[in-house]
Amino acid sequence: MAPNDSEYEIIRQMVYDRSRINLGKDKRELVAARLGKRLRALNMDSYTQYLRFLRTPSGQEEIQNLIDHISTNHTFFFREIRHFDYLREEFLPEFVQSWVPKGHRCLRVWSAACSSGEEPYSIAICLSEALQSHPNVNWELEASDISRRILEKARDGVYSQERVESLPLETIRKYFQKGIGSYAGLYRVKGEIRQRIRWHLLNLFDSSWPFSQPFHVIFCRNVMIYFDRPSQEELVSRLTLHLHPGGVLMIGHSESLSGVRHSLKAIHPAIYRKPL
Ligand SMILES: C[S@@+](CC[C@H](N)C(=O)[O-])C[C@H]1O[C@@H](n2cnc3c(N)ncnc32)[C@H](O)[C@@H]1O
């Protein structure tokens, strides 16, 4: 069952107002596939009924579910490996050599649209490995997403075998617990890594973000693609404010800041640096 033109327009506007996700005119079938499940779970047989429910006081909570169902959460461990290579081979050595002596003892990183957690766990593994020989350097990792459902999954840190099997065996052994009994076939990120991450249910367009300290590195990857140009510009400008001078912003390799006004310097594909 697909929404008709006017129902689709109302859903499109609601999703935009809440998340800035810009559903094109051609996404009606996708919306039907994703929201159809939600309607069935609520025992509703029309979008008119669902939209009426969304307008009631008890339907206000439902907007979160609407966003949970509409958002695209595709991700995987060490996606876009060049970002992790850059972090390990260029940024971290520079951090240890140049930033630490200037008093930056704690590296602050934010995974700003973390989906089901593969991105922040990949960052955490990368930092643990690269900084293990520098006990004087601490690190903090914040991870956030607009979707409550996907953030709960991220926080649990439980993945099927097929999601972890692209990782080297050594990484799996060191950082994952293998499920047994009714958990056979599942892998859970070890507590020592999970507990290093602070999780936030956060809309990137909320009027304020819960961070008082700036970041050295922000991963904001494969989310900007869902926003229109003015929203991308607003977001990049706010992310820039939350970076230390010299800090870096990583965006998805299929995203681009061309046409977006910003004050960052492109240093590698999909890596931008805030000028000193
Ligand atoms: C395709 S995933 C990208 C995950 C990861 N960054 C990566 O590159 O693999 C996009 C994520 O952005 C989140 N998202 C969409 N709009 C958002 C918003 N306004 N604020 C915060 N997160 C948002 C979605 O819930 C989804 O989990």
pLDDT tens for 217-233 read: 999 999 999 999 999 99
Q: In terms of DSSP H, where are the helices of the chain?
A: 5-19, 28-41, 47-54, 62-70, 81-86, 92-94, 118-131, 148-156, 161-164, 169-175, 191-194, 229-241
CB 19 near ligand 1, within 6 Å? yes
CB 79 near ligand 1, within 6 Å? yes
CA 58 to chain CA centroid, nearest Å = 28
Mean pLDDT of 159-180: 97
Mean pLDDT of 181-209: 97
Mean pLDDT of 189-209: 97
CB 220 near ligand 1, within 6 Å? no
SS (H, E, C) 54-82: HCCHHHCCHHHHHHHHHCCCCCCCCCCHH
Decide if 34 is catalytic: yes
Mean pLDDT of 251-272: 95
Side-chain half-sphere exposure of 170, counting CA atoms within 13 A: 2
pTM to 2 decimal places? 0.97
Three-class SS of residue 254? coil
Q: How far is ligand 1, taken at its centre, from the CA of residue 203, in Å?
A: 9
Round to whole Å and give the CA distance between 253 and 251: 6
Would you say the C-alpha torsion 121, 138, 126, 265 has a positive or negative sign?
positive
Amino acid occupying residue 116 = S
What angle is formed at CA 121 by the lines to CA 100 and CA 104, rounded to 5 degrees? Answer: 10
Q: How far is ligand 1, taken at its centre, from the CA of residue 222, in Å?
A: 7
Looking at residue 197, what is its pLDDT? Answer: 98
CB 240 near ligand 1, within 6 Å? no
Domains of the chain: 5-70 (1.10.155.10), 81-273 (3.40.50.150)
Run of H or E residues at 97 = none
pLDDT tens for 34-61 read: 999 899 999 999 999 999 999 998 888 8
